[in-house]
Amino acid sequence: MAVDLSDLAAREVTGRREFTVQPRHATNVFGEQDDPPALPAAADATPDEAVRVLGSPSLLAFCEFVGRESLHGRLPDGTGTVGERADLRHRRAAPVGTTVAVETELVGVEGRRLELAATASRAGDGAVVGGADLAFRVVERARFRAALEGLEG
């Protein structure tokens, strides 16, 4: 099945959503952490130095979520997206309790590949926390699911 995304390339496709950083979104910097168990990079760090801030896995998840949501209703029937690449960057800390606004924009369409740029900012002061350059591949959902049959452990 040929997938025509030329119409998508001609549109302005953006997304925006706010999230509040919860403990489950955070990583522990400058101190040991329990989940997952890990020692700090600084061998001389003391437990009282520990600070919980937005972690890379959650920042990436927020960016991907808003990017996928921005594509809702814009893809051909029977298709969906899978992640292909992500280039993540942090600029500033967002401690637990901070509201973070994530904005995405479709910046390129090449064949079945969709390129999105994401920016995450603290809602209170607008300071950029980080962002990501994302690539999604548009796939036929039924074909993708069929390729996974028998692979589950």
Domains of the chain, each with CATH number or no CATH: 14-24+53-148 (3.10.129.10)
Which amino acid type is present at position 146?
A: A
For the cut 80, the answer to whether the pLDDT of residue 139 exceeds it is yes
Mean pLDDT for the chain? 91
Per-residue pLDDT reduced to its tens digit, 15-57: 999 999 999 998 878 777 666 666 666 777 777 788 889 999 9
Q: Evaluate whether 3 touches 81 at the Cβ level (below 8 Å).
A: no
* Closest C-alpha among 135, 137, 100 to residue 26: 100
User: pTM of the predicted model, to two decimals?
Assistant: 0.89
Cα torsion for 147, 79, 68, 137, to the nearest 10°? 60
Per-residue pLDDT reduced to its tens digit, 118-130: 999 999 999 999 9
Per-residue pLDDT reduced to its tens digit, 62-110: 999 999 999 999 999 999 999 999 999 999 999 999 999 999 999 999 9
